[in-house]
């Protein structure tokens, strides 16, 4: 699930997104490999922050988008587990029922 906003250089990065497919033992990226933080961009004067209400609205929209993606991934995982467990659940229920 890639988002075009992840590749837009005009959008400052607040955090570094972890690659879920990367091995856990992979070394941390060097500072040169990381995207600039919002505070660094503003401190260098490369960009001016938008007015506070605009920034708050943009950040809220971004956080809501991130939350929606995380929930979508989590629910897909829950659905997979439930589907995998369904035959065992049916077997348990049928074994508890008495004939007649």
Q: Are residues 82 and 65 part of one domain?
A: yes
Q: Are residues 73 and 59 part of one domain?
A: yes
Count of the separate structural domains present in the chain: 2
- Whether 24 has a pLDDT exceeding 60, the answer reads no
**Residue 74's pLDDT is what?**
95
User: pTM higher than 0.85, yes or no?
Assistant: no
Look over the chain and give the mean of its residue pLDDT values, rounded to a whole number. Answer: 77
pLDDT in tens, 45-87: 545 777 788 888 888 999 999 999 999 999 999 999 999 999 9
* 37-75 burial: b if 16+ Cβ within 10 Å, else e: ebeebeeeeeeeeeeeeeeeeeeeeeeeeeeeeeeeeee
Q: Are residues 30 and 65 part of one domain?
A: no
Q: Are residues 34 and 76 part of one domain?
A: no
**Residue 56's pLDDT is what?**
85
User: What are the tokens at 81?
Assistant: 């587990």
- Whether 32 has a pLDDT exceeding 80, the answer reads no
Structural domain for 30, as ranges: 1-49
Q: Are residues 74 and 39 part of one domain?
A: no
């Amino acid at each position: 699930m890639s988002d075009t906003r992840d590749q837009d250089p005009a959008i400052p990065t607040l955090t570094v997104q972890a690659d879920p497919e990367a091995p856990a033992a992979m070394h941390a990226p060097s500072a040169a490999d990381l995207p600039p933080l919002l505070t660094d961009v503003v401190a260098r004067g490369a960009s001016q922050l938008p007015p506070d209400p605009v920034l708050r609205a943009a950040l809220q929209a971004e956080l809501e988008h991130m939350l929606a993606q995380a929930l979508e991934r989590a629910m897909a995982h829950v659905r997979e587990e439930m589907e995998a467990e369904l035959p065992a659940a049916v077997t348990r229920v049928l074994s508890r029922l008495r004939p007649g």
